Structure 1
Amino acid sequence: MTKLDHVDGFAALCEALSGARDPASFKLKDPGGERMRRALKDPEASELDLAILLRQVLLAAPGGPVDASAPLPLPRPVGATALAAAGLKTVHGQRVRARAWRPPWIFQTEFEPDAVAAQAADRRFGIGDLGPQADPFVRSLGHDRYRSVGQRAAVRAALLTPAGRSLVIDLPTGEGKSLVFRAIDRFGFATSPRLDAQGVTLVVVPTVALAYDHENACRTGEDEYLAYVGTDADRRARILERLAAQQSGLVFTAPEAAVGSLRPSLIALARAGRLKALVLDEAHLVDAWGTGFRPEFQSLSGLRLELLEQAPVDAAPRTILLSATLTPETLDTLEVLFAAPEPLELLSAAQVRPEPVYYVAPSSDEPTRHRTIEEALLRIPRPAILYVTKVADAVQWAMRFRDLGFRRFAAFHGDTPDEERIKTLQAWRDGRLDLVVATSAFGLGIDYPHVRSVLHACVPETFDRFYQEVGRGGRDGRTCLSLIAPTSADIRVARGLNRERVITTGRGLQRWSAMFHHPDSQHLGGHRLRIRLDVAPGPDEDDIDLIGERSLQWNARVLTLMARAGLLRMVGGVAQEEDASGVFETVEILDTGHLEPSVWTSRVEPVRADIAAARSRNLALMLRHLKASDCPSVLVETLYRADRILAGCSTCGLCRSNPAIARPQPLRTEPASPWAAPPVNPPLADLMTRGELVVTYAAEASGGFAARRTAAALAALWACGLRLLRFIGVPPLVFGRALADLAELPIMIGQAPTRAASRLPSGPEIVLVGQNAGFRLATDVRQPRVVLLPQGYADPDRPGEGLLERYNGSTMSLEALLGRLST
């Protein structure tokens, strides 16, 4: 069914509201209108739910909200009470209009905040900001274009990662990080000497819901299990069977399973050279959660080293760390945990998010905050998320939602059962939920693009957390609303949470000594130890019973602190007897003074102080945002470092009150790949003179035979190491047909007269010259290349002469090249 555009869609929706048209007879392109259309057929939708969605449709109506009106919903009557609560007024008896909403926390000269979000103006992926043409291998995954130049750079850099190395990719929310591991799974790595997509790509995700989300997006049939999560024994057994048989494909799992029940299978795959990559999705959580309540995130570093030790050198798994928000401190943690034995490389395409429109309500008491949030919930466009810090607050707000009259809502927090979480996320993706009250984990990595409003009835303990949560809105590149309504009590809670993750040096040494001397800890030879983590911090009366989950988390933080200080490194797990109990980590001691207070003072204390200071700075940025005296984009650049994030303008009160100070959106630039393409291999390398070979082709050749021969030549060049193809001028159609036939080969394409302008990675390349392109042969070839030149190509500087008449390098025809490379 064809989706109606904005104007026709609004007219059709009005007909449906009046009862003149069945809502099931059409669909709308506009997400807000489509949500309203579907809600008309939803028996769970309340009158208030429908009234708020109707208000959203009117605010986004063609021509603007001032004169827009719509019929009263006849198929699903909405009473006067619900209409008034949602800010709608009846006109001429049978039609409604939206009243203007001017809350006290906006400037009186501003546009209404709900209208700004409902109209969802293009901010990042508009018509004039189409992404670049996709490489042929990406087109075979169903994408005609990359989402952005950043996504193109990320995919290319990932596929060029050398065996055993680690790459961090910092790519903005909404730009498709999942394409990275899908490409790895489908094509393998372009650094391999031959096409070999066989093997397993392990993707570690932070939540069960995200694992299922990726599975649904990637699997080819409903009976294909890719997510090793949950309690379904059959699902887990079938995935283990696939791994035991060394079958290729993606596997999504949590860090606990990766370092636990999956570990033997992963080691077996690594030994066989069949584990292609370890991918960490939402890698910033290694620092944010791994040093707190989920230490297995950091135990992944030890598992990685173990896998590298077991794998053949030329088939060692790559480590790809994906994130949209990386503070310098988080990057330092990733460097400590995942760099060895060689340095970590970073590809950063980060930019200040242009979609959020920021509002800050004045700090107040709890009753006033409740009124502020409730008033906003009765106006703001859907879908909307209300974030809180405490589980109890989420529960209370959910009860209040029901009292107000909402029905299309859910609560999502730490006590929500897994099955309910999955149902909530599915309903959210399907558009059956308009509102969710949640703690921080909701929305993490879930690719739902159309969230229009994000509210905070709390103060996050870091600006990093706040920015990530705001980032759940506007993933479609369109404006979204951010409103935070703080209280003084919130700030006290935020300060407490901010402080609690940084242990003192004395207490850290005490905990390390307890782990080191525990009878279940054992020496494994050399400097390696098997350390038990779930132990009490000491024998004192106040400590002896501290052996629960909380103590385990603190002990995990101690190991991370020691690793960052260079006292040890985590190197993996060890096999245990089936009846063994406890939580263990294998570490390698790097400093024999690891039990000396003086060493902790000189080595650990500076690191601990830096961590504490960084968290304090992070909270300070959050508090500066509450004062509304700084542009949020400046705070973002301060947090993530201005030299690693593209500046921009986030719409805030400062630029709304004085548009002259708003910064223009900068042009995106493509980051350079940290890796070069692989070197040229024999026999092609033997055919080159001074790193260059000119191959002539018949420009007039056409038809299926010519396309097949051209494809065979390009495939032969690929087999000799050439992964980069640069067009100069317009290539003959036969090359386009040939490349379409080679879509399973990771060939990276650029079109520009110079190498720098093409934005291709460095390394050997194929230069395909079209007719009359004004091409000149260089006297100094800096990187090996094969030039594909039309037969009889004229010298642009010497009329009447061919370009090759004075060339003294190696030349041959395309057919001759094919013959030489086929022998």
Structure 2
Amino acid sequence: MDDALSIIKDLLLKKIEPSEAYKFINAWIKRQTDQKEIAKAFSALRLSRCLSSIEDKGDTDTWYDAAGHLRQIILMYHEGLPLHEVYAKQFTTLKGTFGFTIDYANEVNCSTTLPSWLNHSKQMQSVYDLEYRRSSTRRIGDGLLFQVTGYTEYASREQKALVRASMTMQEGQTLLACLPTGGGKSLIGQLPAFYETKGGRIYGGVAGGGTTLVIVPTVALAIDQNRSSREYFKDARDEEHRPQAYYGGLDKDTKQIIYAGVRNGTIPLLYTSPEAILNGPLYSIILDAAKENRVNRLVIDEAHIVVDWGGAFRTDFQLLSVFRKKLMEASGGKLKTILLSATLTDVATSTLCKLFSEDNHLIEFRSDALRFEPIYFLDQPENHDQRKQRILELIPLLPRPLILYVNSVKSATEWMNSIQECGFSSVITFTGDTLSDERERILKRWNENKLDMVVATSAFGMGVDKSDVRTVIHCDIPESINRFYQEVGRGGRDGFASISLLSAIRQDESNYTNNSAVLTVNNMIERWEKMRQVAKEFTGDSFWVDTNARPYHLRNQETGNHNAGWNETTVLFLYRYGLIDIVDIRKREEDERRQLLVKMINIEVLSDRELLNQTLEPLRKREKDRFRYEFNNMKNMISNAEDECFGISFQDSYPYASETCGGCPACHRKQVTPFQYSTMTVASTPSVNQDANIDGILKQYLGSYKDVLLYTNKMSTKDLIVGAINSMVNARVQMIVIPKLLNVDRDHFIQNIPVETQVSYSIIEIEELKKDSDMYMLSGPIAIVYPELRTEGDWVYRWAGNYQTQNSNNSVIHIAPKGYIIESEGKQLLELIDGSLCNIEQILIRAEDDEDWL
């Protein structure tokens, strides 16, 4: 069959069975490369799933679920659909709810009209049109990128700059990097790992082998990222040399392979969660491997959750800082740390830097970009009942998949029940009370298009990476703009427009409770004193904290993980504010409870209840004030929604981001076209110079000079570029600047330059040098192939002169025709060079026979 729409037409006319249609559409999607067609086809896939379930008399789908998908198909494909009389009869009963019209020939169509209470509703058409909202800033690639992925270009300038930063990091450094969603963050860890292990083909690899640990929020994400990474390591020797995902449900044999691969430093990438590392045998295995220099780097994906989640219900995220500290000690300070996120608040940035970096060892690369996909809508009903009535009226008319966010477990259950009472079945809750196994089951069904709607608290957040979520509804005011923005970001991850609807009532403010306010100062002191009281292993100012210790108010109650979590929250609070240090982590043998080795820094305060209270009160108040401030900012954004662009509020929360708006109430009212801006900033970098460690003949010619000219008499520019790249890479030059290539030349060029090299190298075109040179943190020797356009050559010459003066290690290898004129100087380039001159043809010929060159 030709496409998904043709299959759906046959299905709706009962020419094929729903189960067959599902199979055909699924196979068609896997063959398709057009992302817009894939996005449309997913709605067709979900409709066939519904009809198959209904015919099999299953309880996972109803005619209401099917009608929602039918409406979406009609609006996305922009055409009515003929129905078999059986289907026409069923959908006729739902006409009013879903806006269907069914004519005498049983062709179904639907109205785009939405309830009058929803302001600016016509803007939703962009979502059904699947308006693509992701801009492209592709940049020329290099041999390693092509070898690993088959791509000749980086997806964005940000991705290219960050890959270079990760490849050139010094031992002990931390890279804090913000990269827009869809910018290709995964490669920042994958390419160095591939390079160091030679794609898993030899033990030790080009640069010494070793494992890259990648921490992700969920098992589903670990499995997914591992699956995609393994595609790049097809030639690896065996399973011990391939990327792996580590989680609780693994079979024993796979775990043994992982343990052996980590010990030997042969597993290039290991994807796992904080809990999997901190609560099992992997913890000590990794530390032992680090002592043998077999752990290269620690990557934390979605790093902002260390701050958003790590201080409360998933304390393992902040305890990762303790694990990293142990890794740094075990590796002799050699471990490299990479923290990745799309956006970071100032508070998150400060916390991450404090927990995961040392003085003068931080590279902070900021390309925070606000999401352009969401189109924002706001409704302010009079009360809860009116909100419920409006949302339930609107849900049948909105595109799937759909997430409805609330602030409490109780509200989530109530909303799910209400949606089911309306006739829908493909809906479930996901909250902090959802057990781990159930979470993974829900995520699996969600990602496989077997669930249409999730009613969730903030627990349904990071790691929820489904690409085609079209609608996100908030039925409570989120506690901060940061949380609102992060949850809205679950939509439109495929780059197509999505809907964000915030339904806010005055009662939400009175219902607002600050999560961190639950743990009062008295409660923290009581917990601290009890943990200290029951400690059995004291060594001077240090002791092992039993996180299962019961405070006085719980002395007669059975406690479990919840109590242990609050104890850890208390310890982490004291840790963040420098009252204690957390030195180590272990499991208690008898019951597997976690224990923390704590070193008391301010013993006087920690030993005096009154002093401790006086110390903690202002700290706690500061946090409470910050939370209240953030909630007030969220309220103000709502109050000013018709007058001030949401993008301004988002930019206030993410100061490194440029103002962007895909459409909000103020912009709708003022008829402002959606707009997007982006910037890149290297916010901080250590003062580390790249050594002038070039080799062979080129080293002899450069000598103590700051530059050298390699000239040619007859080679064309394209031949010159290819020859220059090969010779410069073999001489260990790590940055080569070339003239802009046409796309057809670019592909051929990238496919014919060195792949496996002694040093990693980057290629940038002159246009990139003009726009993005600050992003590449250039230092050391750099080679420049001069362009045919002389005015551009003038600019290159001036840039090179300035570059040489910036650092004592900076030198330039000029590559140009012998008579190349620098017009601004009125002289030939060879007259302006202070160093040696050499015919590049002679060097290329000699290099083929001279092993010293290599």
> Helix, strand or coil: the match of 2:162?
helix
How does the TM-score come out when normalised to structure 1? 0.85
Per the alignment, residue 560 of structure 1 pairs with 572
Aligned to 2:346: 328
For residue 97 of structure 1, the aligned residue among 105, 109, 125 is 109
Report the equivalent of 2:125.
Answer: 115
**Counterpart for residue 215 of structure 1:** 226
1:726 aligned to which of 713, 727, 737: 737
Secondary structure of residue in 1 paired with 2:534: coil
Q: 1:394 aligns with which of 390, 393, 412?
A: 412
> Residue in 2 aligned with 1:146?
154
Residue in structure 1 matching 2:715, options 700, 714, 719: 700
User: In the alignment, which of 366, 390, 395 is matched to residue 377 of structure 1?
Assistant: 395
Structure 1 residues 507, 422: CA separation in 2 closer, same or farther (over 3 Å shift)? closer
- After TM superposition, the structure 1 stretch with the greater mean CA deviation from structure 2, 366-375 or 791-800, is 791-800
CA distance, structure 1, for counterparts of residue 570 and residue 158 of structure 2: 36
Q: Secondary structure of the residue that 1:495 maps to in structure 2? A: coil
For structure 1, which segment, 510-519 or 344-353, has the greater mean C-alpha deviation from structure 2 after superposition? 510-519
Secondary structure in 2 matching 1:219? helix
- Match for residue 138 of structure 2 among 124, 127, 131: 131
Task: Spell out, residue by residue over 1:80-137, the C-alpha distance to the aligned partner (whole angstroms, 9 max, x if none).
Answer: 1134321111234322222233324333xx3435434222222223xxx353334442
User: Do the aligned partners of residues 306 and 699 (structure 1) sit closer, same or farther apart at CA in structure 2, a change above 3 Å counting?
Assistant: farther
Map of 1:71 onto structure 2: 82
State the distance in 2 between where 1:375 and 1:305 align.
53
Greater shift, 81-90 or 142-151, is seen at 142-151
Aligned to 1:620: 632
Q: How does 1:781-800 map to 2 (within 5 A)?
A: 781-782=804-805, 783=807, 784-797=810-823
Deviation at 1:381, TM superposition (A): 0.9
Residues 216 and 301 in structure 2, CA contact (< 8 A), matched pair in contact too: yes
For residue 348 of structure 1, the aligned residue among 359, 366, 369 is 366
Deviations 1:304-350 (A, max 9, x none): 1111111144xx21111122232222222212211236554321211
CA RMSD across the alignment: 3.8
1:57 equivalent to 2:76? Answer: no
Q: Which residue number corresponds to residue 285 of structure 1?
A: 305
Shift in Å at residue 822 of structure 1? Answer: 3.1
SS of 2:322's equivalent in the other structure is helix
Partner of 1:804: 830
Larger displacement relative to structure 2 (491-500 or 615-624): 491-500
Question: In terms of mean alpha carbon deviation, does 618-627 or 799-808 score higher?
Answer: 799-808
Give the Cα–Cα distance (whole angstroms) in 1 for the partners of residues 384 and 767 of structure 2. Answer: 63
> Which residue matches 2:58?
none
1:429-488: CA deviations, max 9, x gaps?
Answer: 333433222332335234322211011233323222221111000112222111122345
Q: Paired residue for 2:193?
A: 185
Residues 662 and 675 of structure 2 are in contact (CA less than 8 Å); yes or no, is this contact kept in structure 1?
no
Are the counterparts in 2 of residues 711 and 741 from structure 1 also a CA contact under 8 Å? Answer: no
Report the equivalent of 2:659: 647
Q: Which runs of 5+ in 1 are unaligned?
A: 63-67
Structure 1 letter corresponding to 2:45? R
Distance verdict in 2 for CA 1:498–1:466, change over 3 Å: farther
Alpha-carbon separation, structure 1, partners of 2:401 and 2:826: 67
* Secondary structure of the structure 2 residue equivalent to 1:447: coil
Mapped partners of 2:91, 2:817: distance in 1: 78
Counterpart among 256, 278, 291 of residue 259 in structure 1: 278
- Which of 579, 591, 596 aligns to 1:585? It is 596
Decide which structure has greater helix share: 2
Is contact 2:264-2:289 (8 Å) kept? no
Q: Which residue of structure 1 lines up, in the alignment, with residue 528 of structure 2?
A: 512
1:772 corresponds to 2:782: no
Aligned AA for 2:660? G
After TM superposition, the structure 1 = structure 2 runs for residues 303-342 of structure 1, keeping only pairs within 5 Å, are 303-313=323-333, 316-340=334-358, 342=360
What is the SS of the residue equivalent to 2:139?
coil
| Aligned counterpart for 1:717 among listed residues 728, 731, 745 | 731
Conserved? CA contact 2:430–2:439, under 8 Å: yes
User: Does 1:171 find its partner at 2:182?
Assistant: no
Cα distance between partner residues in 2 of 1:772 and 1:344:
40
Q: Aligned to 1:573, what secondary structure does the other structure show?
A: strand
In the alignment, the residues of structure 2 paired with residue 665 and residue 707 of structure 1 have an alpha-carbon distance, to the nearest angstrom, of: 36
Q: What residue number does 2:268 align with?
A: 249
- Matched-pair contact (CA < 8 Å) for 2:708–2:834: no
Question: How far did residue 216 of structure 1 move?
Answer: 2.4
Counterparts in 2 of 1:798 and 1:227: CA distance versus 1, 3 Å: closer
Q: After superposition, give the CA deviation of every residue in 1:539-572 in whole Å (9 maximum; x if it has no partner).
A: x566675964344333323333333333333333
Q: Is the 8 A contact 2:401 2:469 kept in 1?
A: yes
Alignment correspondent of 1:161: 169
Structure 2 counterpart of 1:65: none
Distance in 1, matches of 2:704 and 2:515, equals: 65
* In structure 2, C-alpha distance between the alignment counterparts of 1:390 and 1:579, rounded to whole Å: 35
Q: 1:202 aligns with which of 178, 190, 213?
A: 213
Q: Would you say how many aligned residue pairs link Structure 1 and Structure 2?
A: 790
Q: Which residue of 2 aligns with 1:273?
A: 293
Confirm or deny: 8 A CA contact 1:188 1:276 kept in the other structure.
Answer: no
Which among 637, 661, 664 is matched to residue 651 of structure 2? 637
Query: 2:460 maps to which residue?
Result: 442
> Whole-Å Cα distance in 1 between the matches of residues 828 and 205 of structure 2?
36
The CA distance in 2 between the partners of 1:581 and 1:419, in whole Å, is 19
Q: What runs of 5+ residues in structure 2 fail to find an aligned partner?
A: 54-60, 199-203
Q: Is residue 85–residue 106 contact of structure 2 (8 Å, CA) maintained in 1?
A: no
- Provide the C-alpha distance between the structure 2 equivalents of 1:428 and 1:337, rounded to a whole number of angstroms: 34
Q: Is the 8 A contact 2:44 2:73 kept in 1?
A: no
C-alpha change, 1:611 and 1:467, in structure 2 (3 Å) is: same
The Cα of 1:677 is off from its aligned counterpart by 7.0
Q: Is the CA contact 2:707–2:814 (under 8 Å) kept in the aligned structure 1?
A: no
Q: Equivalent residue of 1:352, what SS?
A: coil
1:216-235 matches, cutoff 5 A: 216-220=227-231, 226-234=244-252, 235=254
SS at match of 1:378: helix
Code of the residue aligned with 1:447 in structure 2: it is: D
The answer to whether the Cα contact below 8 Å between 1:282 and 1:322 also exists between their aligned partners in 2 is yes
- The residue aligned with 1:611 is 623
Shift of 1:270: 0.7
Cα offset for 1:413?
A: 3.2
% identical equivalent positions: 25
Q: Does 1:532 align with 2:546?
A: yes
